[in-house]
Amino acid sequence: TELAHIRNFSIVAHIDHGKSTLADRLIQSTGTVQDREMKEQMLDAMDIERERGITIKANTVRIDYTADDGQAYVLNLIDTPGHVDFAYEVSRSMRAVEGSLLVVDSSQGVEAQTLANVYQAIDADHEIVPVLNKIDLPAADCDRVAEQIEDVIGIDASGAIRVSAKTGVGIHETLEAIVKYLPAPTGTREAPLKAMLVDSWYDAYLGVIVLVRIMDGVLKKNDRIRMMQNGSVHQVDRIGVFRPAMAEIDELGPGEIGFLTASIKQVRDTRVGDTITHEKKGCEQPLPGFKPSQPVVFCGLFPADASEFEDLRQAIERLALNDASFSYEMETSAALGFGFRCGFLGLLHLEVIRDRIEREYGIDLITTAPSVVYHIHMRDGQMTELHNPADMPDLTHVSHVEEPRIKATILVPDDYLGDVLKLCQDRRGIQMDLTYVGGRAMVVYDLPLNEVVFDFYDRLKSVTKGYASFDYQLTEYRQDHLVKMSVLVNDEPVDALSMMVHRDRAEARGRVMVEKLKDLIPRHMFKIPIQAAIGGKVVARETLSAMRKDVTAKCYGGDVSRKKKLLEKQKKGKKKMRQFGRVEIPQEAFISALKMD
């Protein structure tokens, strides 16, 4: 296709503002797929994505559109992930296109992820077309939201398109705006091949499928290509585009977006953001700014039933095949036995993987407390990364500890501002900025990631009744007084419960933890001390008193079936218990004990 007739774009929006619905409409209205083939929200391929209403893997579709000017255009839409965990993938895929539709729910207004995503579009030098969606809702207030876009984001929204992705109003205008306002791509057909690896995923039949944007040159079937990052060479066996079903074509030229397959076995061999060129007569300089995405949150995954370890290994290996940003290594815990220490891009990523293991592979998991990566500086000048609090070296060898900090942006209605400030303050936050935008406050906090990974988002939602929106980015590692807190149950340390805490908060955290455990651990025939300790010093202590009668005693001996039922129920409960020395701890205790309130 001629460059002048190509438009490449993405849609940026806060979660639930209607990105997928709008994409579906654009595809549908151009006849790219027939209505009856149209699965609702077809861009969100995976079930979990659909259930959670989030888009995880970038996806793409090529739309043929004959505009009002009578010319035929090719519109390539790249669907970007909307969640902060995948910020790096978003920022890369943004560089593969020239423009964005900025979708804002006209009954809600600008939210934290609207900002985070639109700033990435601005960073990528996009032309931006504002779209006010959901105008069919009675609460829609287009003028106010347009003004808000101008005030907060600083782009002209006077010509914002008013759309209802639900009813189809404004869809034609949106297609015309894409053609009219977004720039055509540039590139040279005669230059050496330079293509950006935008995304990749594993397909059971075709192997790894690589989504590419051609910057210069031409990619053809049977070409031998080189990944510039690691130098690996592959022979291309298929080239094509998504309509949205895969359709093979002969070549991809400058400005075009499509896929290739080349008998690549693992997604790990294809790094998002890498540059692809020809093995011979390749380009000299890769595209700038490549960095592999790094896991920032780690936790242990153990099978609730130890005999399922091999199943868990297989599940994890399969998932890792399709997710280069998910890392894992075997871990043994004195308390939990064999399992895996896994690294994730963020909490949502963790939850998605955990859900998939439980659901798709039917394995019950014990998840240990998520931990961030600490930098441990030793007295001898060495620095090690700590992924697991249980591995914290002896304090006498440690000079100091650094933790990752984030810049968090929160948008919240004024009424709840006080609660939000208190929450951030409680989590060792430092307020950086506070501004007001149309009845709402925008607060920016410098927070330790450690205080955010566990339940910050849940707390934020609950103190603001769901009205706050939140987004963050990692900023730097900073030294603070961080120590490892161990938990002892019946005088035995339970490594899966150890955690890194700020020294000033250790007593308070320890107290909450032991009180919780006291409630969560069932009584035994003997007294059980529960303690939290730092180094050798106990900072909090509770005692679980001994049980007086056994459970069946209250059945008066007579009713056998009832007694049996009770015992069965007990046995079932037991499956979810873990033995620690002489004490049994229920599985859910590992998560519940770590929640802060």
- Applying CB under 6 A, does 134 fall inside the site for ligand GTP? yes
d(CA 299, CA 316): 14
- HSE (side-chain half, CA atoms, 13 Å) at 119: 14
Closest separation in Å from C-beta 321 to ligand GTP:
24
For β-strands 374-378 and 398-413, DSSP reports them as antiparallel
Site string for ligand GTP, 26-65 (x = CB under 6 A): ---------------------------xxx----------
d(CA 393, CA 117): 40
Which residue in the set 10, 100, 133, 469 belongs to the binding site for ligand GTP (CB under 6 A)? 133
Asked if residue 134 belongs to a known ligand binding site, the reply is: yes
Closest separation in Å from C-beta 111 to ligand GTP:
11
- HSE (side-chain half, CA atoms, 13 Å) at 217: 20
Task: Confirm if 375 and 385 have CB atoms less than 8 A apart.
Answer: yes
What count of other Cβ atoms lies within 10 Å of the Cβ of residue 555? 16
Asked if residue 17 belongs to a known ligand binding site, the reply is: yes
Which residue number, 49 or 216, has a Cβ lying nearer to ligand GTP?
Answer: 49
Binding positions for ligand GTP, 13-32, rule CB under 6 A: 13, 15-21
- Applying CB under 6 A, does 464 fall inside the site for ligand GTP? no
Tokens 């993938």 sit at which residue? Answer: 89
Asked if residue 117 belongs to a known ligand binding site, the reply is: no
Cβ within 8 Å of residue 340, ≥6 positions away: 300, 301, 302, 312, 313, 316, 328, 329, 330, 331
Asked if residue 133 belongs to a known ligand binding site, the reply is: yes
- Applying CB under 6 A, does 164 fall inside the site for ligand GTP? yes
Closest separation in Å from C-beta 110 to ligand GTP:
14
DSSP 190: T
Which residue number, 133 or 409, has a Cβ lying nearer to ligand GTP?
Answer: 133
Binding positions for ligand GTP, 571-590, rule CB under 6 A: none
- Applying CB under 6 A, does 165 fall inside the site for ligand GTP? yes
Closest separation in Å from C-beta 515 to ligand GTP:
37
Closest separation in Å from C-beta 16 to ligand GTP:
4
Nearest to 391 by CA among 316, 448, 327, 334: 334
Number of residues that bind ligand GTP (CB under 6 A): 19
Which residue number, 18 or 187, has a Cβ lying nearer to ligand GTP?
Answer: 18
Closest separation in Å from C-beta 138 to ligand GTP:
10
Task: Confirm if 578 and 335 have CB atoms less than 8 A apart.
Answer: yes
Phi-psi region of 434 (alpha: psi -120 to 50; beta: other; left: phi over 0): beta
Closest separation in Å from C-beta 72 to ligand GTP:
28
Name the segment binding ligand GTP (CB under 6 A); options: 163-171, 177-185, 478-486, 558-566: 163-171
Which residue number, 119 or 338, has a Cβ lying nearer to ligand GTP?
Answer: 119
389: helix, coil or strand? helix
Instruction: Kindly report each contact of residues 288-295 with a partner whose C-beta sits within 8 Å and lies 24 or more positions away, as own/partner.
Output: 289/95, 290/229, 291/88, 292/324, 293/88, 293/89, 293/324, 293/325, 293/345, 294/325, 295/325, 295/326, 295/327, 295/343, 295/344, 295/345, 295/373
Which residue number, 53 or 292, has a Cβ lying nearer to ligand GTP?
Answer: 53
Closest separation in Å from C-beta 36 to ligand GTP:
19
Asked if residue 20 belongs to a known ligand binding site, the reply is: yes
- Applying CB under 6 A, does 507 fall inside the site for ligand GTP? no
- Applying CB under 6 A, does 67 fall inside the site for ligand GTP? no
The C-alpha angle 411, 417, 418, rounded to 5 degrees, equals 155
Asked if residue 414 belongs to a known ligand binding site, the reply is: no
- Residue 321, H or E segment: helix 309-321
Name the segment binding ligand GTP (CB under 6 A); options: 10-18, 57-65, 218-226, 327-335: 10-18
- HSE (side-chain half, CA atoms, 13 Å) at 510: 26
Which residue in the set 7, 57, 78, 82 belongs to the binding site for ligand GTP (CB under 6 A)? 82
Binding-site annotation, residues: 16-21, 133-136
Binding-site annotation, residues for GTP: 16-21, 133-136
Q: Which residues bind ligand GTP (CB under 6 A)?
A: 13, 15-21, 53-55, 82, 133-134, 136-137, 164-166
